[in-house]
Amino acid sequence: MGPLIVYDIISDNANLFFAFLIGIGFGFVLEINGFSSSRRLAGMFYGYDTTVLKVFFTAAIVGAVGLLFMSLFNWIDLSSIYINPTFLWSTLGGGAIMGAGFILGGYCPGTSVCAASIGKLDALAFVGGIFIGIFIFTEGFPLWEEFYNAKYIGSPVLSEFLGSSRGVLTLLMILVALGMFWIGEWAEKRFARDDYKLNQK
């Protein structure tokens, strides 16, 4: 039964090795879906290319359904999966800052590394900005430490927050995803740009 590392089924070193392989696989999936293109990523916000929405909603559904069925067959213990603790105000603040950077620069941290790995100069500049941001955050941490640790709400999961079962929540996620896929298709037709070919990388 998983998680593998929690139950000592694999060693720490094996865990890091598998994480390395999964990371390479994730980067490969990003690249073949065109996520190294800032135009494609920005297209999500302007409506002319919603590939980002489709890929990540698909990943979320596959992950949720997979974990649900693995739990039903006792292949994984969901209660032993680590969930990052939530500090509400810093989560919202960080999300707003990253979202603004995403819109302005056309990359998020993961996609910027993906694009930088194939030599895109705008992505390299973006990665440089990430390191500058990390430096500013760590050196100035005492100034915003109180805000960073404010409104601690533990490690809630959405099903518990809504008072529903995991199965019902997964079904709702699938229905929401189907609705978003439809909206994405509509947006790509409504906001199509003459200088951008749909699904170009």
DSSP per-residue string spanning 108-157: -HHHHHHHHTTT-HHHHHHHHHHHHHHHHHHHTHHHHHHHHT-SB--S--
Residue 87 is classified by DSSP as B
Domain ranges (residues) in the chain? 12-190
Q: Residue for token digits 């620069």?
A: 105
* Residue-wise pLDDT tens digits, 59-106: 889 999 999 889 888 888 888 888 889 999 999 999 998 888 888 888
Helix axes 88-105, 141-148, angle to 10 degrees: 120
**Whole-number pLDDT of residue 1:** 64
**Whole-number pLDDT of residue 89:** 94
Q: In the chain, which residues have pLDDT < 50? A: none
The residues facing 76 across adjacent strands are: 2
